[in-house]
Chain A
Amino acid sequence: MDAPQTGEFAHIGKSVVIKGELSGSEDLYVDGSVEGKIELRNHSLTVGPNGNVKADVTAKAVVIQGKLDGAVVASERVELRKSAVVTGDVTTQRIAIEEGAFLKGKVEIQKEAGKATGSATS
């Protein structure tokens, strides 16, 4: 998922700096700087290539192209694109990591209800 083109989403541009707690009920694309906490329980977060997030993140899906420093809890999936630099623990059901992505932290796969194993893909 790159920069969303259509649909309901909030966009934080690369010149925007936010400090504090972000929560919402729509998808969020962050290409700027966010420091604090991000909660999108049933929606997805995309950190764009210029994004710099220093926050614990809770979302349904998290796609990272830029830099993220904090714990990530995604109820469905996490994708680390090749330019991703992630420092923090990741807890999710599925994780995909592209060649070149950097991760410093723990990966814990939560089992889907009714399924036996989680997975990591590249």
Chain B
Amino acid sequence: MKFFRSSSNTAGSAVPQKLTRRSSGMGEISRLLNSQETLCVLDMGATSANNIRFFTGKGHKNYSEDLLRSSLDPALRVQDGAGNTVVDSKKFLDENLVYATAQFDVVLCWNLPDYMEESLVKPTIDRLWSVMKPGGFLLAFFHTRDAGPDSTCYRYHVTGTDMLEMQEIKFAPPGRPAADKQSPRLQRVFNNRHIENLFRDFASIKFFLARDAIREVLVVR
């Protein structure tokens, strides 16, 4: 079992606080990135110049696809037979993650599974399995049961081999004006068994526990 540290620093009282964390999962992925050339990396967080610089600077191809933002598209909301509003997962996958089979060497999910609509999580992981190369790495972060529903949703900027900068994300909920931005709510907390089931088609799974109610999961396709 491995642990990694989380820390914070401020450059001044008027400057927004920048949180950083050391990531063991990112460290393992960096070793892969440093040992091979022209890998395909899929970053599923919000568009980050840091991340694009980090990956392309090492000669790799960077694909950006902000799936959390895409999943909030009001056009995905449809009425089911009982009149309930549900998310159309088929339409979602018709419009997102449309790549050739076995294309990616590295997929960075970050905290997407915790904040995405429940009905989209398993179909998304299954699609990721099909677009990843055998032996490819997937990194995801999951809250532990200690995290409350109002725990802050972050995007992650890679600032070093195993260092991440965390920046709070805020979105306007579907159908609301942009001025109503708020941090997405934690949808659920996966336990270890849930996580293993989610990635049961993958070859191996490794957990890294942290002190800040987050566990990192590094999965090999």
Contact = CB atoms under 8 A, between A and B. Distances in A.
Interface of A: 80, 95-98, 101-109, 117-122
Provide the main secondary structure of the chain B interface. Answer: mixed
A107 B47 CA distance: 11
Interface stretch (B56-64, B126-134, B190-198, B199-207): B56-64
B47 A103 contact: yes
A81 to B, nearest CB: 12
Interface size class of B (residues with CB under 8 A): 10 to 19
Contacts of A80: 47
Interface of B: 46-50, 52-53, 56-57, 59, 61-66, 69-70
Contact of B56 (A98, A104, A118): A118
B61 A107 contact: yes
A102 B49 contact: no
A106 B62 contact: yes
A94 to B, nearest CB: 10
28 contacts: A95-B49, A96-B49, A97-B48, A101-B47, A102-B66, A102-B69, A103-B64, A104-B64, A104-B65, A104-B66, A105-B63, A105-B65, A106-B63, A107-B52, A107-B64, A108-B56, A108-B62, A109-B56, A117-B59, A118-B56, A119-B53, A119-B56, A120-B49, A120-B57, A121-B49, A121-B53, A122-B49, A122-B50
Provide the main secondary structure of the chain A interface. Answer: strand
Given A102-B46, A104-B64, 9 more contacts: A80-B47, A103-B64, A105-B63, A106-B64, A107-B63, A107-B64, A118-B57, A119-B56, A122-B50
A120 B64 contact: no
Contacts of A107: 52, 56, 61-64
Contacts of B62: 106-108
- Closest 8 CB pairs between A and B? A122-B49, A120-B53, A97-B49, A120-B52, A109-B56, A103-B47, A107-B62, A106-B63
Nearest to A89: B63
B80 to A, nearest CB: 28
Contacts of B46: 102
B54 to A, nearest CB: 8
